[in-house]
Amino acid sequence: MKGTITNVSIGPLVIEGVLGDDGKLYVPVRQVASLFQLPQNNAARDLKAILGEASSCPKISIQEDGANKSQNNCIALSDFDNGPTTGLFFCAIM
């Protein structure tokens, strides 16, 4: 999957996110991991455990600032809307 970096508005906040070519908004796992202070080396696995089995972390090819494309595990922003972590996510980014 391919994606482009975009600003994502969440209420009064704006975070950097990824617009996937499927039309969904994503946040790179490394960004979420730093917000929750999770170790980067197992962040995708840890986030899937927190969010539940239905969550996935697809790899999205993102071109950043005209540089080479990088593969990033990302998590759909909608995954945060459907569970007990919704409040945690919004508290972490404030």
Give me the pLDDT at residue 68, please.
Answer: 61
β partners of residue 19: 4, 25
Cα Rg, the chain, nearest whole Å: 13
DSSP 41: G
Kindly report, residue by residue over 25-72, the tens digit of the pLDDT. Answer: 988 888 888 877 878 888 888 777 777 766 777 888 887 666 667 788
CB 88 within 8 A of CB 31: no
CA–CA separation, 54 and 16 (whole Å): 24
**Helix, strand, coil percent values for the chain (each to nearest 5):** 35, 35, 30
Domains identified in the chain, total number: 1
Give me the pLDDT at residue 23, please.
Answer: 92
Give me the pLDDT at residue 71, please.
Answer: 84
Supply the range of the domain harboring residue 62: 2-93
Kindly report, residue by residue over 5-36, the tens digit of the pLDDT. Answer: 898 877 777 888 899 999 999 888 888 888 77
